[in-house]
Structure 1
Amino acid sequence: MAVRRVVPTIRSEAAQESREFYGLLGFEEVMNHGWIMTLASPTSPAAQISVMAEDRTAPLVPDMSVEVDDVDAAYAALRASGAEIVHPLQDEEWGVRRFFVRDPGGRVVNVLAHR
């Protein structure tokens, strides 16, 4: 299994203001589903942040997303380790397969792969 990217999630009700603020640092909007917006550097597209007030299909907002090449293998490894799965593995209508797991420090990690 390989990590493709890691994206921190900023919990915020101020999406427009966040877009403008991070725009001053060179970020541009690359995705906006209305409930989650992702900003990226145009010169280094893997440098990203997401802004989210609430998650559309999950009970809580994750602290970060980790995109992997094999989400099923990641799910199996984390379950086998005894890690706390806080949102089950599922396919989402926007083209990702994902689950949430709590890390040892209490942070919620959205582990995903694009289909």
Structure 2
Amino acid sequence: MSVQRVVPNIPVGTGDEDGASESVLRDNAAFYGLLGFEEVMNLGWIMTLASPTRPAAQISFMTRDATGPVNPDMSVEVADVDAVHAALVRAGAEIVHGPQDEEWGVRRFFVRDPNGKVVNVLSHR
């Protein structure tokens, strides 16, 4: 199994409708921009910043997950999400959500690690 990247998901804002979450995302983009990060994805509820020289060096900021029951603590992109899912099921891991195909072009599932952290495991389609 091949890991493509690991991205921490930092919880921010409240996900409310009054624009406060958009402001929080903008503030994070500005701050981390000073460290050299650039916005590579923004779905309104999650924004990912990446290094322009090392694109796999990323950090995400999330108000609330759009389709999952909880906010994952980190995302791990793998080459074959279904193979990883099958291996974790065989090992008796707790699958929290999915797998499912998402409209933003990934197939993913959530699994709880031994420390209780929720990991979003995904592959791009």
2:106 to 91, 96, 99: 96
1:73 to 67, 78, 83: 83
**Count of residues in Structure 1 that have an aligned counterpart in Structure 2:** 115
RMSD: 0.7
1:47 to 38, 51, 57: 57
In structure 1, the residue matched to 2:4 is 4
Deviation at 1:90?
A: 0.5
Deviation at 1:59?
A: 1.1
Give unpaired runs (5+ residues) of structure 1.
none
Structure 1 outlier segments of 4+, above 4 Å: none
Deviation at 1:18?
A: 1.0
Question: 2: distance between equivalents of 1:73 and 1:110?
Answer: 15
Q: TM-score, normalised by structure 2?
A: 0.90
1:25 partner SS: coil
**What pairs with 1:101-112 in structure 2 (closer than 5 Å)?**
101-112=111-122
2:4 partner SS: strand
Question: 2: distance between equivalents of 1:103 and 1:17?
Answer: 31
Amino acid at match of 2:5: R
Q: TM-score, normalised by structure 1?
A: 0.97
Question: 2: distance between equivalents of 1:77 and 1:71?
Answer: 10
In structure 1, the residue matched to 2:37 is 27
